[in-house]
């Protein structure tokens, strides 16, 4: 009987703690003009993020992402669920083994945890902006064509190269 009471007390304390955290959370309004965009570790240089709510390192969060035109996030997966809502531009999302799908302003996309996918700003002349919402701390696991996990440096080697300029001479071979 004492054990049952102790377990009930622990469960009540956990529930009250969770409720206290909920009430400490404050409403937030973030105006786009005040958004502070910056790089995310392990993400291609062609994409920046502005936190909107939560802390991606600690738990659930919302980010506003800006993709430069033709920016590609190579094949990857996350440990947590991910939701995207397009603000503007055309974002192409491809799930492994499926046909590419394009989302535009106002469209919604959901990727369950561990779903291998890639994202690409589908317009080569205009940037893409999307809201990304996630259930837990941010992580990203790049994979090769066979589905084996690879380090970010390997996945991003070609993505982060500066584009070739028309009329530029190739670099000398060493």
| 3-state SS class at 4 | helix
Q: Look at residues 113, 132, 111, 129 and name the one whose alpha carbon lies nearest to residue 51.
A: 132
Q: Are 111 and 117 in contact (CB under 8 A)?
A: yes
pLDDT digits (tens, 9 = 90+) for 38-59: 998 899 999 999 999 999 999 9
Beta sheet of 61-67, edge-to-edge order: 47-54, 61-67, 128-134, 82-88, 108-111
Would the pLDDT of 16 be above 60? no
Model confidence band, residue 32 (pLDDT cutoffs 50, 70, 90)? confident
CATH superfamily of 32-156: Jelly Rolls (2.60.120.10)
pLDDT digits (tens, 9 = 90+) for 137-174: 999 999 999 999 999 999 999 787 655 544 444 444 33
Spatial separation of the C-alpha atoms in residues 166 and 56, rounded to whole Å? 39
Overall pTM > 0.85: no
30 CB-near residues (< 8 Å, 6+ apart): 50, 52, 53, 64
Spatial separation of the C-alpha atoms in residues 99 and 169, rounded to whole Å? 37
Domains of the chain, residue spans: 32-156
What percentage of the chain has pLDDT greater than the value 90?
66
């Amino acid at each position: 009987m004492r054990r049952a009471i102790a377990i009930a007390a622990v469960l009540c304390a956990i529930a009250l703690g969770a409720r206290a955290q909920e009430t400490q959370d404050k409403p937030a309004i973030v105006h786009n003009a005040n958004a502070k965009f910056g790089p995310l570790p392990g993400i291609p240089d062609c994409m920046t993020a502005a936190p909107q709510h939560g802390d991606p390192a600690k738990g659930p969060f919302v980010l506003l992402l800006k993709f430069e035109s033709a920016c590609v996030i190579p094949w990857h997966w996350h440990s947590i669920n991910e939701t995207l809502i397009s603000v503007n531009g055309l974002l192409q999302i491809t799930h492994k083994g499926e046909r590419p799908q394009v989302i535009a302003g106002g469209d919604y996309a959901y990727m369950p945890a561990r779903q291998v996918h890639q994202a690409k700003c589908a317009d080569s002349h205009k940037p893409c902006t999307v809201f990304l919402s996630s259930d837990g701390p941010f992580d990203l696991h790049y994979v090769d064509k066979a589905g084996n996990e690879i380090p970010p440096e390997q996945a991003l080697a070609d993505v982060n190269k500066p584009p070739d300029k028309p009329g530029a001479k190739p670099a000398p071979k060493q």
